[in-house]
Copies of this chain bind each other. A is one copy, B any other.
Amino acid sequence: MATIKDVSKHAGVSPATVSRVLNNSELVVEKTRVKVMAAVEALGYRPNTLARAMASGRSGIVGMVVPEMSAPIHARFIGEAEKLFRQHRIQLIGASGHCDPEQERDAIEFLLQCRCDALILLVEAIDDGYLKQLANREANVVLLNRHVAGLESQCITLDNLQGSFTGASHLIELGHKRIGCITGPQNKQDARERFEGFQQALQQHQLIQNPAWCVEGEFTEASGYQAMAKLADQQLTAVFCGNDEMAFGALAYCRKHGIAVPEQISILGFDDLHFASYTFPALTTMHFPADTMAIAATEFLLSNCYNIETANSAPVMTYLPTLVSRDSVADISPVE
């Protein structure tokens, strides 16, 4: 593959001049520029990003760690960020952390070796201390969906507590009193927050909180299905699910066992996955603005790390889930 030297010889100028032309330096006379561009064309020259990074001290690479690249919600994060970054000729590289402290750490170390200019981290298992040290000494870091004390200005988070509070309140307003809950794994922060918001809503309305009505799932359909099996004979009128996938599982259980949703039982999800509108009944759920948050993280770095000002260079750092009403929740409040 042709190098900058090849181009310079072909054009009869110095490598430095070629570099200037390629980097849109003003200090190049039109005639020279044309000559150089012609040589670039003729040789099919492609600047070497690696060499460029070495020389300039900027890699033009942003790394991103998500739990699982193949999970729909994470794919959305990556997809949106990649699209926006590439418009600015910045390469996003992804790595998966699998919610395991060692694997997350390994992923981060790996990205650091690639000399990423910045890191977008959606990590759950790794400890705060490591992240703080990372942010202070090693790299430009944005934390997604995680709150670390001292790093507030770099955390883009979803207000899970407020979101599930809103969701549970919606159920209550519709007349539901016997409300069950399928929570996510309680070793995860977001699952805990979502459970907490649910509990607070019930508490505020002085509703019964029966431990038998709360089952811990694993954020998967299968676990939602099994959780619903345990909840089925508790005479509940509604079930609040920690995420959509468990809600899908719960829905599947109800269909399988002839429990009509929402006539016999209402089901509320959380995340608003793409498929939520195609279940039967279509899932009422709390919308998680993943796209918006991915874009916010991207714009934050574009501005803070690359000095590129975008339409929205001071992105909002905390997002609120909004209720998306579909067909899986019934209004059972007494008729006036």
Q: Which residues in A have some Cβ–Cβ distance to B below 8 Å?
A: 1, 46-51, 53-54, 59, 68-72, 74-76, 78-80, 82-83, 86, 89, 91-96, 107, 109-110, 112-115, 138, 221, 248-249, 251-252, 255, 274-275, 278-280
B75 touches A109 (CB 8 A): no
- What are 24 A-B interface contacts by the 8 Å CB criterion? A46-B109, A46-B112, A46-B113, A49-B114, A49-B115, A50-B50, A50-B54, A68-B79, A71-B75, A71-B79, A72-B72, A75-B78, A79-B96, A82-B96, A86-B96, A91-B93, A91-B95, A91-B110, A93-B94, A221-B278, A248-B278, A255-B280, A275-B275, A279-B280
The CA-CA distance from A5 to B252 in the complex, in Å, is: 61
Partner of A69 from the list B78, B109, B274 (CB cut-off 8 Å) is B78
With A46-B109, A92-B93 known, 20 other A-B pairs at CB within 8 A are A49-B115, A50-B53, A50-B114, A54-B54, A68-B79, A69-B79, A70-B76, A70-B78, A70-B80, A75-B75, A75-B79, A78-B94, A79-B96, A83-B96, A93-B93, A93-B94, A251-B278, A252-B280, A278-B279, A279-B279
Q: Given the complex, which residues of B lie within 8 Å of A74, measured CB to CB? A: 75
Interface SS of chain A: helix, strand, loop or mixed?
Answer: helix
B75 touches A72 (CB 8 A): yes
| Nearest chain B CB to A26 CB, angstrom units | 24
| Nearest chain B CB to A253 CB, angstrom units | 11
Which 5 A-B residue pairings sit nearest by Cβ, starting from the closest? A70-B79, A75-B75, A69-B79, A280-B280, A248-B278
Q: Given the complex, which residues of B lie within 8 Å of A112, measured CB to CB? A: 46
Q: Given the complex, which residues of B lie within 8 Å of A70, measured CB to CB? A: 75-76, 78-80
